[in-house]
Amino acid sequence: MIHTLALLALLAANVMAKRVPPNEVPPIVTDKSVFSVPHFPEGGPAQKGGVVEAREPKTNKLLWQVQIYKTQYDEKLEKDVQDVFITSLTLDKVHNLLIMSDEKSRIFVLNLATKKVTQIE
């Protein structure tokens, strides 16, 4: 009986540590690029989320990828519950900027000409 209770406690802890998958963020399509925020980027940083990329619209060839923020992981906690994902993406055509927010309600601006990232909030 003690072994059964211990097993159930371990299973419950494992289930509670998992998070729901992030919502998809619609890409922004222009004549020259498709801007997107892949939650699980291929060939990107080891962290999940926090990346913006541009692809060629016709060929889907990766043009560039920028890490917007770095997630600091606590090795004592489950990694997946610490992931922070981008939740919105907007293009400011006038100023040539991508504006995005994340699950922590932070706002970031990516200058498309320089690829410089600025955190506003």
Q: Is the pLDDT score of 3 beyond 80?
A: no
The pLDDT assigned to 36 comes to 97
The pLDDT assigned to 73 comes to 80
What the block records as the tokens of 97 is 């900027």
pLDDT digits (tens, 9 = 90+) for 85-120: 999 999 999 999 999 999 999 999 999 999 999 999
The residue ranges of DSSP E strands in the chain, in sequence order, are 28-29, 34-36, 51-55, 62-67, 86-92, 97-102, 107-111, 117-119
> Among 1-5, 69-73, 79-83, where is mean pLDDT lowest?
1-5
Given a contact cutoff of 8 angstroms between Cβ atoms, the answer to whether 43 and 59 are in contact is no
The pLDDT assigned to 47 comes to 73
> In angstroms, how far apart are the furthest CA atoms of the chain?
67
The pLDDT assigned to 4 comes to 55
What the block records as the tokens of 24 is 């998809």
Q: Is the pLDDT score of 71 beyond 70?
A: yes
pLDDT digits (tens, 9 = 90+) for 14-51: 455 577 888 999 999 999 999 999 988 776 667 788 99
Report all structural domains of the chain as residue ranges with CATH numbers, in order of start. 23-119 (2.40.10.480)
The pLDDT assigned to 7 comes to 46
Q: Which residues contact 23 (CB under 8 A, 6 or more apart)?
A: 87
